[in-house]
Structure 1
Amino acid sequence: MSFRGRILMLGLAFSWLPLLALGLVVRQEGVRRLQASQAERMTVLARSASTAWQRNADRLTNGAHRLAETLADDNEVRAALRALPLPHPRIQEAVDDFSRASGLPVVYVLAEGGLIVGASHFMGDVGRASEGIWALAGVDGTVLVSDLPGPEGPLTVLAQSTEAEVGGVTLRVLVGLDPATLADLGGSDGGLFVAHAGSRGGTVPWSDLEPLPGGTGTPRFGADVVRPSAVGDPQRPDGLVELGSLVVAAPTRPLEPGRLVLAWWDPVLPSLSRSFDRALLVALISAAALAAVLAPFLAARLAAPLDRLGDSARRVQLGRLDVRFRGGGGKEFDRLSRFLNGMMDRLRGGVAQVRDAERRATLGELARQVNHDVRNGLVPIRNVLSHLDEAHREGRDELAKAFSDRRETLSGSLEYLDILAGQYKSVAVHGQRVAADLDRTVAGCLEALGASRPGMGIGADLRSGGQVALDSVSLRRVVENVVGNALSAAGPDGTVRVRTHPSAARDKSEHVLEVVDDGPGIPEADRARVFEPFFTTREGGTGLGLAIVRRMVSDVGGRVTLDSQVGEGTTVRVVFPAYREDVGPLDPPSAGGSLRDRVAGRAALDEQETS
């Protein structure tokens, strides 16, 4: 992963983790406080529901007994019961009056055999015999819960009954009310459930609760939310309160004792949790989007010092030892820049020492070469003088004859020494940092070389368009050596392509000369030595051409590279620094470098000029 990619990942992590941790802490604290508030509210609700249950249970008990007493004290009712057939309108009238006066919506009066002689809530039941209701009305002294017929279907009621003798007829009366009157859940979801007798003796488990019998669901108060009513529902209620004992009269099973339980769910807590979770998710997505937008910008700002150091390092890798690493971006980058600049100072010092050692070694080699060359020129002269001395002792005629015979030897030796002196005079030649037009100089050299080698294929693509920091004489010597070597390697039937262009750098701080020939190429074993003075693979060559080129170009901070493949040809690439007015000409005494290369350069030029 790149440095900028790591910055992006860290930005996402640092934007998510604190926000996620803060959100979870706030959520947990909010839930805790809401649960505490809910617990207090549900405690009040439980007390209210228990009080309502006790009040309504007493109301049912008193209502059943009062109805029996009312019927027994009513002469018209007694008379109606003795008269046949039943039911009698007076009994129904008495039932309606009692229901309105007591506020009990469900009132039944049944004669023996389950004949319904009065019903307050469903007139259609009057005159019908119902063994089920007769059996329910026979449960005396306790509250029961069951379904009774209603105009719109079964009606679940809490009821109580009693038996009485009225006018010599045994009657059973049953009064009931809607369970919804027991409690107000204050906006919560809830309902009445039944816990059977087997769950007595402790807190009622949620899995033991069943919905009220008969209906298709559990009655709900305060909301329309439908909760599952199956046994073992894992969605536990937020509160349970046991209201009291009763008898369960389910349609498909016998009467069974149990307890009435009120259960409720508070919708505020889950709704608040869901809302907070959505808000937290939106916040996390927003933080991620913001981090994705800002991270590249921050990564670019943070990576800028590294990019500057990388650019300087690439320039060093290309041979620019005058590079200085710039700091900026923090103390760490400043310290790294100081370390790198110190390393470059030591490197430049080491290179200077190597060049000095090279210079000394070359001077020693040059001294030995001069000694050898001068001795080679003096030996024939010494021999001629010895011969002339002997002839002089023999007489003038012999001296004249000997001088005539050895004149060519003496003249040849003196001419050799004179040529040698001219060659060694080139030791003081070096490049100057002055402006020279690269394209114009190359064009002039190609014209002269083409005239001296008619028929040779020379192609030129000159697009440098700038001035290089090398004096025109030295630049001409560089071009003539490189192009001349290429022409010699290509042969009379070959071609040479010459190209100039600015470097790929943005500031065009360098200009490039490329010379490509299609000659036989240079073997791999000889490529590493082509820049050594006096090394040549061409018959009659001096081995100084590329040595001169490298020396002159390196004097002004340039460089020379060579690429060659056997059978394909050779490419020589010379990189010149662009001329800058703020950089003065190179001082000849401090030019440095190899003395032998300077000698080689002059010798190669003389060799080319004589050829």
Structure 2
Amino acid sequence: MSLRTRMLLAFGVMVLIPLALLAIGLRQEMTRRLSEEYQVRVDRVVEVIREDLHRESTGISQRIASLKSALLNDNRFRLAAVAGVESERNYLLDYAGEAMRLTGLSMLQIQDSDGRIISSGHFRNEHGRLEPALAAALADARSGLALLTTRAPAGEFLSLARSESFRIGGRTFTLVGGVAVDKAFLARLARDRAITVSLLYPGGGLSSDPAEETASTETGHADAAVGAFHVPVIRTGAETPLDVMQARLQVTQSLAPLRILQRRVDSWFLITAVGTGVTALLLALWQSSRISRPLAALAQKTAVLDLDRLDVRFDEGRTDEVGSLSRLLGDLASRLRTSTARVREAERRATVGDLARQINHDIKNGLIPLRNVMRHLEQVQRDEPSALASVFAERRPTVDSSIAYLETLVTSYQRLSPSPNRRDCDLNALITEVVRAQRHDQVEFTMHLRANLPPVIGDPIAFRRILENLTANAVESLQSKPGRVSVSTEVVELDEEPPSIRVTVADTGRGMSKEETGRIFNDLWTFRVRLASRASPLKGPASSSTFPPEVWSANDDPGSGGG
């Protein structure tokens, strides 16, 4: 990831995260407070509905009380209900229906002391059915509120019921009356279309919301404010015993307006965030371009820096952090130029050491069986000379196996030697690369390369190693003192031979004496005392192992440099 990209991301994070936190905090606080207001409103509506039901129940009780007063003074009812006059039987059967219409009730029935229905206004054919526990269940209802499932010709309906007992002629009668609880009744309780009142009870349910046919379960509303209280429901039936259950009267107000408000707030926040992000992006682009441009130029110079090209010069004129970095990179390149030769020599020594240890180990593995066989044969010759031939024949497979192992080992190590890749080589290009890699602070390199130098057929890696050794020796001959190393190429015309190319590496170092010059091709010798331990035990000095003696020439004047 580039610095410019990081700066853009940093600006975006610095701008958008606080804005997002502010928006999220405001949204949550707004949602919390408005949800609480919705819930408080719903709770108030619940209390109002509870008061309305008590008021409605009280009104039902008052109407039943007026009927009670009328029945106490009704002689025809007395004759039919107490005296059992047959001519007044129809009056008794129709009385509840007429009284129910006059009082505005939805259900009304009169029971005798045995709980037998003697008159029913909502279902005339219900007379004669026993409901002995109904009056007691209504009387036991707490707070005077009770719902009753009532049979009618069209089916069963729910009503808010009350009961009142009275005595005529020494007999006890009970009036049970109520108003129907249906969708219209619940809608009157709601008073507001935004509020839904639902009545949930086992086996059924009602709701004031026209979109809901029935609410038969008590599942919660995840996106609504809900308030509720419980009301007893008395279930009656012709074939089932009376059962008292609990119904849940639930008040619900949808939070859809709040969600619409949240979406609008989110839209405004998104617009603000986009505008702020674009502004921050433009500012970040402007600022990052001012910072990244010098860094990009520095990176472009650093990209070409490697062990083969250490002549890169870094601008050290700036006084800011970029200038400090340029100076550090310049010092790094200088140290790399100083230590490249040492690193390569250390790598060569490590490689040769590892290879020598491996060869020593492998040869020992092949010689140990041979040594054991020879010791065995020596012992047999000394103790039982007559058995020497048979023992030798017996141990000969071991000898053959060891010899085959050593032959295989020789073949394997022979394969490690890379095959030369002979092709046309541009010596001038190779010299330029090697000199560039050998740059030193106290050494002045000069090149005098002939133009249009013909290509030379050979292995470019071998040529490169030769040139590296020559230039490294020239630098080290200066003994860490200021000096000059010159590399030149020329075409040499020889008699009766094809033309050759001569590469000359000259330095202003200490030079060599005649005695040292006569020993330069001897194995395990070097005129550099501090590098004597680096001479190869296999091929002679590292600096001359790739050169035949006839191509060498050396200046034999100490102190006048070498070449």
Task: Report the structure number with the largest CA radius of gyration.
Answer: 1
